[in-house]
Structure 1
Amino acid sequence: MQTQRHDIPEQSFNAAAQAEADISRLRQLSVKLAVAELEIELFDAMEPLEAEWRMLERDNLSSLHQSYDWCTAWVTAFRRPLAILRGRCGADTAFILPVEIVSSHGMRIAKFIGADHSNINTGLVSDAFAEDSGSLDGHHLAIRLRTALAGKADLLLLQNIPLEWRSRRNMLAGLPMVQNQNHAYQLPLLDTFDKTLQQLNAKSRRKKFRVQSRRLEAIGGFDDTVPEASSEQHELLDTFFRLKSARFASLGLPDVFSDTQTKAFLHGLIDMRNGDNFGLQMRALRLKGDYEGRIAALSGISRKGDHVICQFGAIDEDLAADMSPGEFLFWQMISSLHGKGVALFDFGLGDQTYKRSWAPVETDHYDVVLPISGIGIVAGALHRAITRGKVFIKARPGLYKFAQNIRAKVG
């Protein structure tokens, strides 16, 4: 009898395991069949894809940076040639990769639209295709992408992709990749601000906030403002450009916001709104008293679904800098987002001390590096080498600081 009691659960377990294995094989087979049927088309304009594009972007896990309106704002400002990739399985749209062609040193590089100013890229994927894309054959997908882009680009370079985003594996994860030198930092927002702070050093952070508050009150107080009027939002963005330009100049770094196209793109995002979602919202810390109306710190945030991204920030170096007004503004922003359907506050790309102090989650990013032509093979190898060199340097604080000093001196 004892043997029988052991045998029955063992048989049941084996049957369940066999059934699970059979389901897994069927899923893999269905994905392979889907890839075999996969057709990738190339589009040089966004408009023919608008309806299905907007349908796919409803997915909460797709990046704001691949949304139709975000890409429209960029394309309107930069007017680069487009090479948008649509994958279809039969009559169903499987994915859309919003890609533009960037010319560099005689090479044609296919990149995500607006890649130079995006913090996370996921592409747009249908629910059905995303569910089983972990079993996707990367080799076959690469062949189809190369075929689609042949004659149009030399290199497919899709940057800043998390291999897994909020428990979903990216459909591009099986393609040739290199780890990006930059990581992103996130703070999950819990039921209350107090619970959110418990993920951090809550006691130390509250103490720091109280000290900052007292210092700001001592010089006359402050207002944390989010102007509703579009005109005021645009004015704050122009103030950001001025403050950031001064900061870059003091560090001897190039101003990545200086060109007219980038400014036009960001101004376009301010008017991008859809319910709770917005392309760009400016927030300011204004001082009172002797500094009445002066702006000590600025931030620009975006929202899609339950995900808020800090796109950039700046402080007035000549005004209350010793009070860390930028970090104080983060406290104000994050606390105010509770109870508004936000689950994740994203500090974006780049390793900085204030991000690590706020963000318990660190996300690795990767770049797809897929050569299309002979010159693309050379360009891809060069990108891999440079990126790995940057990863090596950034992993060594002393070496990284030395490299930053050299860069600042060279200007």
Structure 2
Amino acid sequence: MSNITVTTDLASIEKAWRSFEMYAASTPFQTFEWLNAWYSVIGSVSNVTPAIVCGSNEDGSMAFILPLAVERLSGSRRLVFLGRDLSDYNAPLLAPDFDPGTSARDWWKRVHDTVQQASGCHHDLVFLDKMPERVGEQPNPLSALPTRLNPSHAYATGLNGDWDSFYAAKRSSHARRNDRRKFRHLQNEGVVSFRTASEHGEIRDTLDILFNQKARSFERMGVPDLFEKPGVAEFFRQIAIKAPDLIHVSRLEVGSACVAANLGLVAQNTYYSVLISHVDGPLSRHSPGTFHQHDLMRHAMARGCDVFDFTIGDEPFKRDWADAIYNLHDHLAAVTPLGVAVAIVTSARLQAKRFIKQTPRLWLWASRARAGLGSLLIYLKTGKPMPKKASKIDE
């Protein structure tokens, strides 16, 4: 690898980036479209400076692109992945013949030194999170760094054969009978139909329903509403309209009512399920989210996808379908004395979170306590009790 450069201007590298991603090993969360939309709506107004690292081979061809950024947080500056907060996987884009050289750690040292010396990219701490062990068929060179396991896993299943045989192989006869019973109840409420949103107005309407349904779900779980954060809802609206080849927005309707909604990504023969939601109230008893999930996998098969990736998160329904569980890794390293203090606090927080999430009894208690608080807040706000849960996928 002959040359490593850093740029803080996404526009200056757009052409090379788009060309490289056509054949590089990557995830859709590192496409120029995704990250440029994130930066234009969120990063540019959030004290974030892009630090896009590019490496070239001796013949001038691109070897890798590593989309990093420097963000200011609590008086410190930390080096992170660009768009990390809304990306389920963070990784470099790698050429098919990528070779880090003598060792992956030496490669990273050279990358890091280049970033630290670049104008506007000085930082106190390095925090690289949600890193998969592989990028496409290649080992992720960043996995060679000292890492700890992320508190959450990711899940995926291979899409083999036709839907009927796949469904029968994945679900027990008892589960299939239960599904048929619930689907009949759903049909009694109106015609059940799966729709892909393609027109701009329909995309916006579907996403607004998704945001509203997710907000109610977050409220029931007692967690902050993701879509109340500045720019988040607008980011998803923009990327869904600007990148129709990457983004798939769909809804499940019963009659004229949208009872479940979805935003997914399609790239390299894989369907990535990113945002899913469902209606609450009486119809939730019939598990509309479950049947929308079935339709999404059927849709992925029809598009020629070989893999359905449920992405990050340990929801029980993912385990029911998955035949692959991915470990994700976090790297944390102090660079300056201030970074040491921040790293100690960050490390303690991450360790506690992982310990709770990976200890079933503690996670159950924590989830119940959080949901109980959410239920109390709903009652105080509306005077109505929280709706009962329907099924695992509809939680």
TM-score range, shorter chain: 0.7 to 0.9
- Equivalence for 2:299: 336
Mean CA deviation greater in 54-63 or 199-208: 199-208
- Equivalence for 1:208: 178
The code of the aligned residue for 1:77 comes to V
1:233·1:281 contact (CA, 8 Å) conserved in 2? Answer: no
The code of the aligned residue for 1:43 comes to T
The code of the aligned residue for 1:387 comes to L
- Equivalence for 1:49: 13
Within the candidate set 271, 274, 277, 1:311 is matched to 274
- Equivalence for 1:58: 22
Deviations 1:323-361 (A, max 9, x none): 111111001111232242201111111101111112121
C-alpha displacement at 1:211, in angstroms? 1.7
- SS, match of residue 16 in structure 2: helix
- Equivalence for 1:68: 32
Within the candidate set 93, 97, 108, 1:142 is matched to 108
Partners of 1:136 and 1:267 in 2: CA distance = 44
Q: Please give the residue correspondences for 1:170-319 in structure 2 after superposition, counting only pairs within 5 Å.
A: 170-197=140-167, 199-273=169-243, 277-278=245-246, 280-288=247-255, 293-319=256-282
Partners of 1:372 and 1:56 in 2: CA distance = 31
C-alpha displacement at 1:378, in angstroms? 3.2
- Equivalence for 2:124: 154
C-alpha displacement at 1:407, in angstroms? 4.2
2:203·2:241 contact (CA, 8 Å) conserved in 1? Answer: no
2:315 matched to 1:345?
A: no
- SS, match of residue 311 in structure 2: strand
Within the candidate set 101, 106, 115, 2:70 is matched to 101
- SS, match of residue 185 in structure 1: strand
1:302·1:310 contact (CA, 8 Å) conserved in 2? Answer: yes
Partners of 1:310 and 1:205 in 2: CA distance = 22
State how many pairs are aligned: 365
1:175·1:370 contact (CA, 8 Å) conserved in 2? Answer: no
- SS, match of residue 152 in structure 2: strand
Partners of 1:165 and 1:82 in 2: CA distance = 22
Partners of 2:122 and 2:108 in 1: CA distance = 15
Partners of 2:22 and 2:178 in 1: CA distance = 39
Mean CA deviation greater in 341-350 or 88-97: 88-97
CA distance 1:323–1:247, change in 2 (3 Å):
same
1:122·1:161 contact (CA, 8 Å) conserved in 2? Answer: yes
Flag the structure with larger Rg. 1
Mean CA deviation greater in 250-259 or 176-185: 250-259
- SS, match of residue 309 in structure 1: strand
Partners of 2:184 and 2:265 in 1: CA distance = 30
Q: Please give the residue correspondences for 1:107-126 in structure 2 after superposition, counting only pairs within 5 Å.
A: 107-126=76-95
CA distance 1:250–1:343, change in 2 (3 Å):
same
Partners of 1:167 and 1:41 in 2: CA distance = 25
The TM-score, its normalising length taken from structure 1, stands at 0.82
The code of the aligned residue for 2:108 comes to A
Partners of 1:254 and 1:312 in 2: CA distance = 16
Within the candidate set 87, 90, 98, 2:55 is matched to 87
Partners of 1:409 and 1:136 in 2: CA distance = 54
Mean CA deviation greater in 321-330 or 333-342: 333-342
2:139 matched to 1:169?
A: yes
- Equivalence for 1:25: none
Give the CA RMSD over aligned residues.
2.2
Mean CA deviation greater in 220-229 or 193-202: 193-202
CA distance 1:407–1:103, change in 2 (3 Å):
farther
- Equivalence for 1:321: 284
Partners of 1:144 and 1:381 in 2: CA distance = 25
1:142·1:370 contact (CA, 8 Å) conserved in 2? Answer: no
- SS, match of residue 219 in structure 1: coil
Partners of 1:219 and 1:198 in 2: CA distance = 26
- Equivalence for 1:6: none
Partners of 2:306 and 2:126 in 1: CA distance = 33
- SS, match of residue 182 in structure 1: coil
2:197·2:206 contact (CA, 8 Å) conserved in 1? Answer: no
Partners of 2:302 and 2:219 in 1: CA distance = 40
- SS, match of residue 322 in structure 1: helix
C-alpha displacement at 1:157, in angstroms? 1.8
Show structure 1 runs of 5+ residues with no match: 1-33
Partners of 1:307 and 1:220 in 2: CA distance = 32
Within the candidate set 326, 340, 347, 1:377 is matched to 340
The TM-score, its normalising length taken from structure 2, stands at 0.86
- SS, match of residue 69 in structure 1: helix
C-alpha displacement at 1:387, in angstroms? 2.1
- SS, match of residue 271 in structure 1: helix
Deviations 1:245-276 (A, max 9, x none): 122222221101113411111011112336xx
The code of the aligned residue for 2:50 comes to L
- SS, match of residue 143 in structure 2: coil
- SS, match of residue 55 in structure 2: strand
CA distance 1:410–1:326, change in 2 (3 Å):
closer
The code of the aligned residue for 2:342 comes to A
2:362 matched to 1:362?
A: no
